[in-house]
Amino acid sequence: MSLKASLIAGVLIAGWSLTAAAETPVERGRYLVESIAGCGNCHSLQDAGGVVPGKEFAGGPPIKDAAFDAWPANITPDKETGIGSWSDAEIVRAIREGVDRDGRLMGPPMPFWLYRDIADDDVNAMVAYLRTVKPVKNKVPDSVYRIPLPPAWGPAVAGVTAPPRTDKVAYGGYLAGPVGHCVECHTPMTDKGGLDMARLGAGAREFHGLWGTSISRNITPAAMGDWSDAEIKRAITTGVSRDGTRLLPPMGFGFYARMTDGDLDALVAWMRSLKPAD
Ligand code: HEC
Ligand code: HEC
């Protein structure tokens, strides 16, 4: 192709992607749920090959801990065993406030304290998408919590907006916190059991499962300052670390592989802005 022809093609492609950027709520919801939010990492049955076909969102395996046996709910539109008969507002409240349809407060590990800052548009888009997935009949047992839950995860939520995408660090922080809860897994706990926010991103959390034990890594510039952007993105989207070793679950690499390059850039910008922590 001549230079002129390729320039014209480039302009046409740029023009096409501008029109294509006008996503519908269902498309936006699919993107968030299936990539950065990775809801299926808990709510779908998975095996070594990823999510088991036909079991998408039908309820995940229990997540067991000293503090709880948590059973990720069936969030398909099945009317009896899923959320098909819930209103949009009830589903939004469950996601952002951790209150189920009967008014019962839900416990960890669904990160409600972060989800409360998911923007109105984005949480509504997630609900719009969940309404379109295949209903699956699967009755999930009730979760058991052996720790006292707070009276509420916070006051009622409404009127949340996301930071502008042009502010990469802030938007990356929105993806890494409220939407993707990277911060939850990658921040050490204090003696009192809360996250040590002064050491945001320092890692050192332990996860037990079929894979054995994995320990989240330090993702602040103290550990990753000399990695290239491409190396960081490869680790997030493929689970291959800088030295070529394969990273273990429960981080949802297969979900993050579906992120747009722009969103990955924002995540990297946010990681590079963190206070270096040992
Ligand atoms: C870390 C695991 C985890 C992640 C990530 C997670 N959830 Fe959950 N979710 C759970 C568990 C466990 C429950 C059940 C809690 C209970 O009943 O006490 C639950 C409950 C729910 C409920 C209430 C349904 C019902 O029938 O009670 C909804 C709706 C929901 N999740 C949607 C989502 C969406 C949407 C996302 C992604 C933005 C998500 N969850 C991410 C673990 C998770
Ligand atoms: C459910 C917990 C969990 C979530 C959510 C999570 N991670 Fe991880 N992450 C881990 C664990 C555990 C490891 C280390 C795995 C290992 O050592 O095999 C890891 C490894 C990494 C690595 C590789 C570092 C290295 O030295 O190779 C990067 C980068 C990373 N995470 C960034 C992120 C980002 C960005 C997000 C959000 C998009 C995220 N993580 C979400 C648990 C999590």
Q: Which domains does the chain have, with CATH numbers?
A: 23-161 (no CATH), 162-278 (1.10.760)
Ligand nearest to the CA of 172: 2
Is the CB of residue 186 less than 8 Å from the CB of residue 145?
Answer: no
Q: Answer whether 83 contacts ligand 2 (Cβ < 6 A).
A: no
Alpha helices (H) in the chain, listed in sequence order: 3-20, 25-34, 40-43, 88-97, 112-115, 120-130, 168-174, 182-186, 221-224, 229-238, 253-256, 261-273
Q: What is the pLDDT of residues 200-258, one digit of tens each?
A: 999 999 998 888 999 999 999 999 999 999 999 999 999 999 999 999 999 999 999 99
Partners of residue 154 on adjacent β-strands: none
Q: Answer whether 110 contacts ligand 1 (Cβ < 6 A).
A: yes
Using the atom order of ligand 1, give the atom closest to the CA of residue 107: 18
Ligand nearest to the CA of 221: 2
Q: What is the dihedral of CA 124, 144, 197, 93, to 10 degrees?
A: 20
Residue 104 confidence (pLDDT): 96
Q: What are phi and psi of 128, to 5 degrees?
A: -60, -40
Mean pLDDT of the chain: 92
Q: Is the dihedral of CA 89, 92, 96, 100 positive or negative?
A: positive
133 has pLDDT over 60: yes
Q: Which residue has the higher pLDDT, 194 or 172?
A: 172
Measured distance CA(182)–CA(38) in Å, rounded: 11
Partners of residue 145 on adjacent β-strands: 68
Q: Answer whether 94 contacts ligand 1 (Cβ < 6 A).
A: yes
pLDDT range class, residue 93, cuts 50, 70, 90: very high
Q: Answer whether 100 contacts ligand 1 (Cβ < 6 A).
A: yes
2 has pLDDT over 80: no
| Closest C-alpha to 54, from 35, 36, 76, 32 | 76
Which protein residue's CA is at the shortest distance from atom 4 of ligand 1? Answer: 110
Q: Answer whether 106 contacts ligand 1 (Cβ < 6 A).
A: yes
> What is the residue type of 18?
L
Is the CB of residue 71 less than 8 Å from the CB of residue 145?
Answer: no
Q: Which residue has the higher pLDDT, 272 or 278?
A: 272
Q: Answer whether 182 contacts ligand 1 (Cβ < 6 A).
A: no
Q: Answer whether 236 contacts ligand 2 (Cβ < 6 A).
A: yes
Q: Answer whether 233 contacts ligand 2 (Cβ < 6 A).
A: no
Ligand nearest to the CA of 83: 1
Which protein residue's CA is at the shortest distance from atom 30 of ligand 1? Answer: 95
